[in-house]
A and B are shown apart, each in its own frame.
Chain A
Amino acid sequence: MHRHLWNLVLGIFFGIWCLGFGISSAAFGAEVLPPKPPGYFNDYAGVVPKDKALALNEKLAQFERDTSDQVVVAVYRKMESDSSIEDYAQRIAQAWGVGQKGQRNGVVLLVFVDDRKISIQVGYGLEGALPDVTAFDIRTRHITPRFRTGDYAGGLDEGIDLILKAIRGEYKGDGGTVREKSRTSPSTGCGPLGFLIMLIIVLSIIRLGRRRGGYGYTGLGGPFVSSGWGGGWSGGSSSSSSSGGGFSGFSGGGGSFGGGGSSGSW
């Protein structure tokens, strides 16, 4: 009887192995996407005063609590890609999953100071509230004129204000951010069959009686260390390194982007 069960377990592992092949076939290009930033406002280029950056970060965190919209701003020195700014920015926004999954209500404002490139990426769910024309207007009439004079803080401040003004009222928040609400709940995307398989695996592991040491790690709540990677992204005053208790960290809600928004040079 035990051998019967063992055969079943072996067979199921084989089945999973077969299925696994289909999933692992995603292909990626050679460019480097910056990792998901720790905060809502991230200045890796050191062009915005720290207190200002922190204030903007709090403002954006509060905006998510109020409206559930996620607006993330990141200022870098250089692009790590040969693509155009609009393609690159769309991939970054998509990779970070800014916005809630259901509403897809994220906006990402990316600035590459040395390249003099800027992009506003608008998630699918906000394309109505913040259409391309409005994003274009915010970018070319309010942000880049100030950037040209070297006033990055002022341009970003005004740009963020206008973006928030445009999208406020589209969705309602529930008082918390994704990070504040997040728990490490297991994903239930497998359906009943997956659940059955998982159950059998878990049972078999228990039966085998093998124990491994406890991991005891949670990916949440730790200090935010914006580690430098690939050379280009590090070496700025990231707003996260500041003290002043209660820095609100950012976690993406799984939003998606379809190329809406406006991008260009200044």
Chain B
Amino acid sequence: MKTILGLGKILAFASLFSLTSCGSYNRLVTLEQTVNKKWADVQSVYQRRADLIPNLVQTVAGAANFEKSTLTEVTNARASVGQVKLDPTKAPTDAAELEKFQQAQGQLSTALSRLLVVSENYPQLRATEAFQNLQAQLEGTENRISVERNNFNTAVQEYNTALGQFPTNMLNKMFGFKERPFFNAAPGAEKAPEVKFDFNKPAAPTATP
């Protein structure tokens, strides 16, 4: 009788273990899918920004004697972004790869913000509807980039944490799950709100606290 009870215990724990590890495996798969989905979202907002640039360049180039060097810089940065191709459906597993991607995008951010700063010297250009529309879109795109990057980082964090936890951590070796790298938190050049512009604000009428 006693042995039967003991056997029952072992059976219970064994079935329990397979049950939880099955659940953990499924959870890891789900989390990995989420990471990939968020990565795709990140890619699409960066793509959205890249798509705006030809239009922006064209609009700005139309302005009388606009400084050529800033324009060239944007065009070049846009081109180098195009060269760093990462699989848009699968989040990178290599931290160096992501770093390279981030650097290229960061250069484009810098070039764009410089262009917008320079454009302040061209009030006629800034008064045009085309430029204002582009500016609104650029602002929106920068905001979206920061949101999607944050979402991606959150998803990666959840996935990486799950990978390191018991009993999941026994699975990653069996099934080859890998940790994913993060985006760095705003390393200066990447800081989105640099592109922010408020041309309704000639004398900064912010209320003093």
Contacts and interface: CB of A to CB of B under 8 A. Distances in A.
Are A and B subunits of one complex?
yes
Contacts of A262: 136, 139-140
Contacts of B20: 15, 18-19
Interface residues of B, number: 45
Given A8-B16, A133-B137, A258 B148 contact: yes
A62 B152 CA distance: 36
A157 to B, nearest CB: 20
Nearest to A11: B16
Given A4-B5, A114-B209, A136-B136, A22 B165 contact: yes
Given A21-B165, A86-B193, A115-B207, A260 B16 contact: no
B126 interface: no
B22 interface: yes
A238 interface: no
Contacts of A137: 136
B166 A25 contact: no
Contact of A25 (B161, B196, B198): B161
Nearest to B209: A114
Contact of B201 (A84, A90, A136, A265): A265
B9 interface: yes
Given A22-B27, A86-B193, A258-B148, A4 B143 contact: no
Interface residues of A, number: 42
A4 B4 CA distance: 10
B141 to A, nearest CB: 8
A193 interface: yes
A131 B196 CA distance: 17
B200 A133 contact: no
B165 A259 contact: no
Contacts, number: 114
Interface string B117-158: 000000000000000110011011001111110000010011
B13 A22 contact: no
Binding site of A, secondary structure by majority: helix, strand, loop or mixed?
helix
Given A260-B140, A266-B200, A4 B147 contact: no
Contacts of A116: 205-207
A99 interface: no
Interface in A182-231: 191, 193
B8 interface: yes
B167 interface: yes
Given A4-B8, A133-B136, A261-B140, A19 B157 contact: no
Most B CB atoms within 10 A — which of A11, A116, A137, A259? A259
B144 A193 contact: no
A259 B140 contact: yes
B144 A264 contact: no
Interface of A: 3-4, 7-8, 11-12, 14-15, 18-19, 21-22, 25-27, 84, 86-87, 90, 114-116, 131-133, 135-137, 140, 144, 191, 193, 257-266
30 contacts: A4-B8, A4-B9, A7-B8, A7-B9, A7-B12, A7-B13, A8-B12, A12-B16, A15-B19, A15-B20, A15-B23, A22-B158, A22-B161, A22-B162, A27-B157, A84-B193, A86-B143, A87-B143, A87-B193, A114-B207, A115-B207, A133-B133, A133-B137, A136-B133, A136-B136, A137-B136, A140-B200, A191-B26, A258-B41, A259-B145
Given A3-B5, A18-B20, A259-B147, 7 more contacts: A12-B16, A87-B146, A136-B136, A137-B136, A258-B41, A263-B143, A264-B198
Q: Which 10 A-B pairs have CB atoms at the shortest separation, nearest pair first?
A: A132-B140, A259-B143, A136-B136, A15-B20, A259-B147, A11-B16, A259-B144, A4-B8, A22-B162, A7-B12
